[in-house]
Amino acid sequence: MIEMSDKFSLVETSQDPIISPSPHLPAEILSLILSRSFRTTHSFRDVIDVLLSCCLVSKAWCGPAREMLYRSIPLSQLESLCLLLRTVRSESFGGLCPALALHFRPLFPEFPLKKEIRKFATLAGEIVVCCPKLLYLTGDCGLLHFTSTMSHPRYPFLTGLKVYGQDLELLAPLLPHLCNLKTFEMLESYGDSDMLDDCFEPPSFKLSKLSISQTELSPGLCKWLFASSSESVESLKVQEVGSNLQPLIEVMGGSVRELHIKGMVDHETDSDSEAIKVISGLAGLRRLRIDGWDFKTEHLLNLQSSLETFAFSPYGARVRDVQTLLRSGWQPSLQSLDLHVEPFSSVKSWELGSGSRGWQDELTQTCAARGIQLNEI
């Protein structure tokens, strides 16, 4: 997928194409030729110029070229949002934008005016409403703003959503229209479950993959957001959610087969051990990865699931602790052990601060004896 700069909207493509002799090729073939031709193009401006020129060659060329222009659109400048809306509201587009992916990543000055922030958020919402063919939507800095009075399409093709710093109350009017959403990523977002329950229809999507980082998750918020996905989520990734992991697992724990926990520790509530107690009841769990310095392996002894893969970051004494688990016969169903080594480090650094490097060889031997594949990633 070609990443398109938001500068493309500075040029109108809505004028009538110039009719001239051109090869009579199917639109699919033209699209394939254009996409492959740009894989080796180094100048982004050249790509845009060629596509704009193709829009003017003939009606047959205009469709495939326009499709590529609007395939994936990052928008960062307020002016670009205004120009894009003006373009899609022109007679040529009829109020509908053919974009397949939208990425709202605002670049504000150090101290932006509140009216500029509000205008960006409002325009972003209006643009999304004009894009019924969306496959993927990203909103940074909480600047996705929708209202119940907007006329939303059903978005039958939108399967991926990623938000950062998002007030879920402003996102809520959109969610019931994402009937086929499969992947949802949420970073540093927040919401009042009572407000959402009272004012908005809950989502009906059935997620298969969910990623939540640094987000407060009350029981009410978890239920409102994810009750419809309680039997469909297979992959769950959480980072720095602490004790909030419990209500999340209670809502959708029955279907989770892959779980990645990163930086979950809250020393004041000892959420490390509490979180492990919560996941111990995930009978369907097959792949588990835990990252972080403070994770205690003894909490894994009571896992009710039959793991196929266990992954961890080999910090300090962690390798020795996992070695002890494996020797005890823990998880007889285990097929692979994955060591996620930090960049620029190597397997030789496993034992840093944990004693003799002989543990490295012993872990390798233990895995071999149990028929477990040891992978350094």
Q: What is the pLDDT of residues 65-104, one digit of tens each?
A: 777 788 889 899 999 999 999 989 998 888 999 899 999 9
The continuous run of DSSP H or E covering 376 comes out as: strand 373-376
**Is 155 within a domain?**
no
Band (pLDDT 50/70/90 cuts) for residue 13 is very low
Mean pLDDT, range 361-375, rounded to an integer = 92
**Does the structure show a pLDDT above 60 at 196?**
yes
Q: What are the residues whose beta carbons fall under 8 Å from the beta carbon of 239, sequence distance 6 or more?
A: 212, 213, 214, 261, 262, 263, 264
Write out pLDDT tens, residues 281-298: 788 999 999 887 666 777
Backbone angles phi, psi at 316, to 5 degrees: 45, -125
**Is 301 within a domain?**
no
**Is 61 within a domain?**
yes
Task: Mean pLDDT check: name the lowest of 110-119, 239-248, 341-350.
Answer: 341-350
**Is 184 within a domain?**
no
**Is 64 within a domain?**
yes
Alpha-carbon gap, residue 208 to 159, rounded angstroms:
10
Please list the residues that pair with 339 across neighbouring strands.
312, 376
Band (pLDDT 50/70/90 cuts) for residue 59 is confident
**Does the structure show a pLDDT above 80 at 304?**
yes
Ordered alpha helix ranges (H), 200-242: 219-226
Alpha-carbon gap, residue 48 to 40, rounded angstroms:
14
Alpha-carbon gap, residue 77 to 108, rounded angstroms:
8
Mean pLDDT, range 124-134, rounded to an integer = 95
Last residue of a domain, one of 22, 44, 69: 69
Alpha-carbon gap, residue 371 to 335, rounded angstroms:
7
Highest-scoring range by mean pLDDT, 55-69, 85-99, 311-325 = 85-99
For residue 105, the model assigns a pLDDT of 92
**Does the structure show a pLDDT above 70 at 200?**
yes
Contact between 254 and 284 under an 8 Å Cβ cutoff? The reply is yes
Last residue of a domain, one of 16, 34, 69: 69
**Is 282 within a domain?**
no
For residue 7, the model assigns a pLDDT of 47
**Does the structure show a pLDDT above 80 at 41?**
no
Tell me the pLDDT of the chain averaged across its residues.
Answer: 81
**Domain range for 366:** 316-377
Pairing of β 235-239 and β 258-262: parallel
**Is 175 within a domain?**
no
Band (pLDDT 50/70/90 cuts) for residue 355 is very low
For residue 128, the model assigns a pLDDT of 96
- Helices vs. strands in the chain: H and E counts, helices first: 12, 12
Strand order in the sheet with 136-139: 72-75, 101-104, 136-139, 160-164, 183-187, 209-213, 235-239, 258-262, 287-291, 309-312, 336-339, 373-376
**Does the structure show a pLDDT above 90 at 37?**
no
**Is 102 within a domain?**
no
Task: Mean pLDDT check: name the lowest of 38-52, 130-144, 314-328, 361-375.
Answer: 38-52
The number of domains in the chain is 2
For residue 210, the model assigns a pLDDT of 96
Highest-scoring range by mean pLDDT, 41-55, 243-257, 323-337 = 323-337
For residue 63, the model assigns a pLDDT of 72
Task: Give Cα separations from 193 to 87, 116, 136, 286, 348 (angstroms).
Answer: 38, 28, 26, 31, 48
* Residue 178 structure tokens: 């994402």
Contact between 291 and 312 under an 8 Å Cβ cutoff? The reply is yes
For residue 354, the model assigns a pLDDT of 45
Which residue would you say has higher pLDDT here, 274 or 124? 124
Last residue of a domain, one of 19, 38, 69: 69
Write out pLDDT tens, residues 130-183: 999 999 999 998 889 998 888 889 999 999 999 999 999 999 999 999 999 999
Contact between 267 and 243 under an 8 Å Cβ cutoff? The reply is no
